[in-house]
Structure formats: C-alpha cells, structure tokens
Amino acid sequence: MSNNSSARRPKSKATTTASQEPKAPSAADDTHVMPSKPVERAKSTGLHIGEAAPGVAKVDPIIVADGIRRTFGGLTAVDVEHLEIPRGAITALIGPNGAGKTTLFNLLTGFDKPDAGTWIFDGTSLSGVPAFKVSRMGQVRTFQLTKALGLLTVVENMKLGAKGQKGESFWQSLIPGIWRKQDEEIEERAMELLAKFKLDAKADDFAASLSGGQRKLLEMARALMSQPQLVMLDEPMAGVNPALTQSLLDKILDLKQEGMTVLFVEHDMHMVRHIADWVVVMAEGRVVAEGDPHTVMRDPAVIDAYLGAHQELDLGVVTGRYSADAADSTTDAAASTKVKASDLEAAGMAELEDTSK
Amino acid sequence: MDWLQIFSNSASSILSPATMAYALAALGLAVHFGFAGLLNMGIAGFMALGAYGYAISILTFGFPWWGGVLVGMGAAAVFALILGIPTLRLRGDYLAIVTIAAAEVVRLLFLTTAFDPVTGSADGLSGYHTSFRASNPIPAGTYGFGPWTFNAVDWWVRILGIVALALAVLVVWRLMASPWGRVLKGIREDEDAVRSLGKNVFQYKMQALVLGGVIAAVGGIVYALPSAVSPGVYVTSLTFFVYTALLLGGAATVFGPLIGSLIFWVLQTLLSNVLPAMVAAGVLPFMSQIQASTLRFILVGIALMLLVIFRPQGILGNKKELTFVK
C-alpha cells in the first residue's frame, strides 16, 4: 500500500544520500511530520442507520435531498430519489463520466435549478436559494475547472473568501476607517492559511502565475477563508502531481479533524479508498450504490457501472511491457501475469458493442 | 503653415471642457469595463442622458443649474437600473450588443420630432446658460496666459469640470483600493468563483453600472456646459472615441482615462489643424481640405486597432492586469 511505502521513506532516507535520490528533499518535505502522526487517520464509521443501500438514512445528516430531477432537453442528468450526506465525515461521490455528479453539485450549491425536488442543508431548505446565499450559510464549493482569479494576487484571492466584510458594501468602502482593521485581521488569517498550504511565498504574485496544482490548493484555501461547515470539492486531484496529491489528501483529512464535512467528486480510486468514510456511486443520474469505500468497491453493480472488472490488474504486466516484479504495488501482480492482453481487449470490445446497442 | 497657432490650439485643448468630458466618460467606462469587466458599448447614451437631463430640466422645468446637474445624474442612474435588471445576467458580448442598442434608442428618442418642444429634435437644445453663468463668482474679464487665456465664463466651466473630475477620480480611486473594488475585480475575472464565495454578484455589477453611468453623465453635462446640446454628438462613434481614450491610458487604472483623454484631444486638435494646413500648403495634393479633416477620424480608428493589438493595457496599465483578448 502507498501508506506503508510513505511511512518507510524516512527510514530508507537515512541510508541513502540526497544526491543518490533526487526526489529526497521533496519527499522529506511531504513526510517529515508523518512519524509523529498516525499514518492513516481513523475513518468515521457508524454513519448510517440500517443496511447500506442507495438512499440509506444517516445518523446525523448535514444534507437531505429528496426527489431531485434535472433534465437537459430529453436527457435526464440527475434523478436522485433520496440522498443523505453524513455530517463530520468525508463523503466521496464517484461514477462514470456523465453520471450527473457535477450537475448534482451545481444543484446542491444553487448554481443550477432543478426541475423538481427539495433539499435541506443543516435544517434549512435550500430550494430556490441563490448560490451566494448558499455559500453564506456555510456550504462552500470548488470547481472542476479551477477558478483562480488570475489577475488578482494570491492574497487578494484569499481575502475575497472571507465572509461579512464591512468594506465590501459600497458606501462603507469609501471610508477606510470602517474596514481597515477588519481587513488586516483577514489578511493575517489569509497568510496563516497560505502558509499551511505552502503558498505564502507566492502571496503577492498574480494567481495567473501559479501552476495548475497550486491553483487547486489556492481554490481550496480560498474556500476555507469563509469558515464553512460543508466543503464541496469537485475533482480536487485532477491535474495535480503525485507529490502534491499526498499533501492535498492531508489537507482534506485536516478539514474533517477541524469538524468540517467534506463532499468530493473524484475519479482517483486510490484517493477515494484512502480518505473517504462514505462513498456514493452515481450512474446515469441515479444513486446506484452507497456504503463504506471497501464494501462499495467490491459491489458488482459498481464494478459493472464504473470501476470495470480489471481494476486490480497492472496493464504493463498484462501486455508484457515489464515483468511482474515491476508491477505497481497497488495492483495484483500475480493475477496480472495470468491474464492475456488479447482476452481483455476482446472483452472490452464486446462490452462496447453491448452498450452501443 | 502657422505652427505657432497650431501648437497654441493643441495646448489649449488640454484645458478644454471636451477633454474633461471625455476623461469623465472614460473614467465611468473604466469602472464598467476595466474593473467590473462589463463590456458597455453604450457610454454615449449615458452622456446624452446627462446632457439632456441637464438642459431639459433647466429649459422646460425652470430648475437652477445645479438642479439640472442632479437630474442629469439621476437620469443616468435610472437608465443604468433599467438597463441592468434584464441585461446584467448576460455574458460579456451579449451585454455589448444590448448596450449599443439601448444607447441608440436613447439618441433616437432625443432626435425624433415627436418630442420637439422638449428635446428640440435635430436642432438640439441651447440657451440654458443664465442660471449657470449667474452663479459665476469670477469677475468679468480674461485671465490666464499663452494658449490658456480664457474669459470668466470659460474659466468657470473649466474649474467646475476639474472639480467634478477630481471628485470622480477620488471616489473611484478609494473604491478600487477597498474590499468593494476587490470583489469587483474578482467578478471581472470569474463571476462564478466570486458567487461561490458568497458575494451577491448581481448587486455588485449593478452598483458598478450605476456608478460608471453617473460619472459618464457628469461627463455629458460638462460637455454641454459651455455651449449647446446636439443629438449629433451622442452617436455610436462617441462611444468608440471614449474607448480609444480609455484604452490609450489603461482600462484598469484610475488615472489612465485622464491621461488617455488628454492625449486623445491634444492629438485630435493637432491633426485637425495640421492636416488641412498641409493640404493648403500643397503637401497632400491628392485630397481636399474637407477630406483632410476627415482623415483624422480614420487615424483614430487605426490607432484604436493598433492599441488593442500591441498595447492592450494602455500607457499606465500593467501588462498582466488587463489584456483585451484572454
């Protein structure tokens, strides 16, 4: 498992020199706090009441959605009968492309209006509430295509996230005396958060000069400036390099530790397995499965709809590009050697023909 | 060619009411386009409302001159509200189409003979100066030196123009340095991101539209202060001239519109003097004097194109802060 290897790294570093291992400094950067922390933080369990099934009731739901439908012309993008998101846990929303995950995100955050349905956030109905009010209630989202405000500096981006700023009202903004002090406090908080996200050195640069991964970090940090109860992340890992992924995962786990609820859309199954306490699987607009990550990923319906039957195989080994010794540690190397590439291909083609009918 | 006269005229335009009017309109446009990202192509309509609001309230309703100023500003604010409610939900280029049409509607309403007793239709309005000139504290006579020698009335117009400009610059400068300005610039970059952070984007865009519109209306009033209101002034090409001045100085700056308008008018005056003089001196044998004075507008068009292509951030702007094509 990747957790084991990252935990081992500090030990192995003692026997190698930095010049032999060019990646050592960054690896040390990411893991230098690891030994003092438990490697894998405890997952939240006991979130649901009764048997895990689509629409199962939760012990303490933060969002309860009922009968949400959204159609685009003839296409039903989202058709969710009942869905509850557990409070204080990390919930992953997975599913194939076009399953309606982002549309559901847009509906829950007020960026889109459903044709039918009601949903309650923290005891308040959010039907018909505009996006900015949803955000003010403590439900903040990020976007699949990162929206860093390119021609504002990084610290300005952050300060924009703070709620209840006196200087943001037209007339009060004309008198600096009213908002100067609050603005300084906000800047202080922004710098603390930036330091946590290792962006403090970039504070005065335009956000446009950041790399894709740094923009993801900035967007997340900016969302946290509003001190939300529920953070909704739309593909937080898309386009982020592996070294940064580890630190982003830790950030998300930190959010839970600080008492926030996290709902995220993600295609990276390792990440989902690693940090999610609960997984909701969508396909063709519906919730097809729910449960804790390990159970859900063994669910035949989920494998069929999304994961595919061969997720444990290392394609490099199957196609003979390298030997079983070099296989990725998260895959089943022994099984990979037994499968013929041509069989896989034939099965895939048959499946494609099946779905196109 | 009488170079001394040409240079004197050009230098005089630094302090002309037209320059101040353009600077005010360009500043209003900077709020719309440079800071809020609203592609308003109807700035001429806001200026017309200012000028006509001023003249009509004095001529028809007998308001004092300062009452006329308030009416002009109020008319622009109301126009911004009416224009904004249906259109601010539109994306940039659609807003441009709607605003250009709305400005034309305003101009044609002032031009039509249906309201001739009030608007003067094609003749425009004049003779509304009594109250304004009576308020002039400067004793009669001429003051100043060199190209900047004006009589008491001209000075009164210029002083008020400068005061209005200074106030507008101060307000815009304070606003853009405040958290309010930060939200506005955020909206320019990506309004969905700002919305997701709990800001009422529509309200900010509306405030920006009203503020910029009112500043542009003050520009229209300053333009009308010295002589008359003519419907032929508030045409679409005025919008493009103001855009040229704005982009020349720098769209996302506070002092850029001022510098841009200054350069625009000094160059305009210079060209309108030099080109006909060159024809008269036989330097441009292939055109008449009338053609030569039209040539300067062609040159303005070329200048606008070159600016947008090669220096979209203007003279004062930061290259990174605003690029016309993203």
User: pLDDT value at position A158?
Assistant: 95
CA distance A90 to A277: 5
Total domains in the fold of chain B: 1
The answer to whether residue B275 is domain-embedded is yes
Q: Which residues pair with B106 in a beta bridge?
A: none
Q: What is the pLDDT of residues A316-351, one digit of tens each?
A: 777 777 777 777 766 777 777 777 777 777 777 776
CA distance A102 to A108: 10
Cβ-based contacts of A157 with chain B (< 8 Å): 186
Cβ distance of A170 and B207 shorter than 8 Å:
yes
**Residues A114-133, mean pLDDT to the nearest whole number:** 91
What average pLDDT does range A48-53 have in this prediction?
A: 80
**Set of chain B residues whose Cβ sits within 8 Å of the Cβ of A219:** 193
One-letter identity of residue A280:
V
How close is the nearest chain B Cα to the Cα of A292, in Å? 29
Name the residue of chain B whose CA is nearest to A172's CA.
Answer: B180
Mean pLDDT by 10 residues, chain B (326 residues): 87 94 97 94 96 96 96 97 89 88 95 92 92 92 90 94 97 96 94 94 96 97 94 93 92 92 92 88 84 86 84 77 49
The pLDDT score that the predictor gives to residue A30 is 42
**pLDDT over 50 at A24, yes or no:** no
Predicted confidence band of residue A355 (pLDDT cuts 50, 70, 90): low
Q: What six digits make up the tokens of B113?
A: 């003979």
Position A232 scores a pLDDT of 94
Q: pLDDT > 70: what percent of chain A? A: 84
Q: Using the predicted structure, report yes or no on whether residue A129 has a pLDDT greater than 50.
A: yes
pTM of the predicted model, to two decimals?
Answer: 0.85
Contact A167 B185 (CB under 8 A): no
Residues B40 and B173: beta-carbon distance below 8 Å? no
Q: How confident is the model at residue A242 (pLDDT cuts 50, 70, 90)?
A: confident
Q: Contact, A65 vs A297, CB < 8 A?
A: no
Whether B175 sits inside 8 A of A132 (CB atoms) is: no
pLDDT of residue A19: 39
CB contact under 8 A, B198 and A140: yes
Residue B112, classed as helix, strand or coil, is coil
B79 vs chain A: nearest CA distance in angstroms?
19
All residues of chain A having their beta carbon less than 8 Å from the beta carbon of residue B195 are 111, 131-132, 135
In this prediction, what percent of chain B has a pLDDT beyond 90?
72
**pLDDT for the residue numbered A354:** 63
Model confidence at A302: pLDDT above 90: no
Q: Output the domain CATH number for residue B301.
A: 1.10.3470
- Give the number of A-B residue pairs with CB atoms closer than 8 Å: 101
Q: Is B63 part of a structural domain of the chain?
A: yes
- For the segment A211-239, what is each residue's pLDDT rounded down to a tens digit? 888 898 899 999 999 999 999 999 888 87
Choose among B175, B182, B198: nearest Cβ to A156: B182
Instruction: Please list the residues that pair with A281 across neighbouring strands.
Output: A94, A289
- C-alpha A110/C-alpha B297 separation (Å) is 49
Measured between CB atoms, does A161 come within 8 Å of chain B? yes
Question: Is there a contact between A140 and A223 (Cβ–Cβ < 8 Å)?
Answer: yes
User: pLDDT band for position A294 (50/70/90)?
Assistant: confident
Structure tokens at A39: 């490697």
What pLDDT does residue B278 have? 87
B190 inside domain: yes
Residue B271 within a domain:
yes
The radius of gyration of chain B from alpha carbons, rounded to an integer in Å, stands at 20
- Confirm whether B326 is domain-assigned: no
Q: Which two tokens stand for residue B199?
A: 């800001």
Do the domain assignments include residue B170? Answer: yes
Q: Does residue B111 or residue A32 have the better pLDDT? A: B111
Q: What confidence score (pLDDT) does residue B321 get?
A: 58
Burial of B192 (0-12, 13-18, 19+ CB in 10 A): middle
Cα(A150)–Cα(A205) distance, rounded to whole angstroms? 10
Percentage of residues in chain A with pLDDT exceeding 90?
41
Burial bucket for residue B211 (CB in 10 Å: 0-12, 13-18, 19+): buried
Q: DSSP characters for B127-166?
A: ---HHHHHT--SPSSEE--GGG-EEHHHHHHHHHHHHHHH
pLDDT of residue A70: 93
Of A132, A183, A206, the CB nearest to B198: A132
Residue B196 lies in a domain: yes
* Chain B nearest-CA residue for A137: B198
Residue A40: band (very low, low, confident or very high) from pLDDT cuts 50, 70, 90 = low
Decide if pLDDT at A33 tops 60: no
For residue range A83-103, what is the model confidence (pLDDT) as tens digits?
999 999 999 999 888 889 999
Interface of B with A (CB under 8 A): 171, 174-175, 177-183, 185-186, 188-190, 192-201, 207, 320-322
| Separation of alpha carbons A53 and A279, rounded Å | 11
| Cβ neighbours for B37, distance < 8 A, ≥ 6 positions apart | B92, B187, B188, B189
Residue B86 lies in a domain: yes
Q: How confident is the model at residue A352 (pLDDT cuts 50, 70, 90)?
A: low
**Residue A272 binned pLDDT confidence (cut-offs 50, 70, 90):** confident
The confidence score (pLDDT) of residue B286 equals 85
d(CA B10, CA B24): 20
Q: Please report how many Cα atoms fall inside a 13 Å half-sphere around the Cα of residue A84, on the Cβ side.
A: 19
Range of the domain at B225: 3-321
- Cβ contact (<8 Å) for B196 and A141? yes
First and final CA of chain B: distance in angstroms? 46
**B197:A222 CB<8 A:** yes
Contacts of B132 (CB under 8 A, 6+ apart): B65, B156, B225
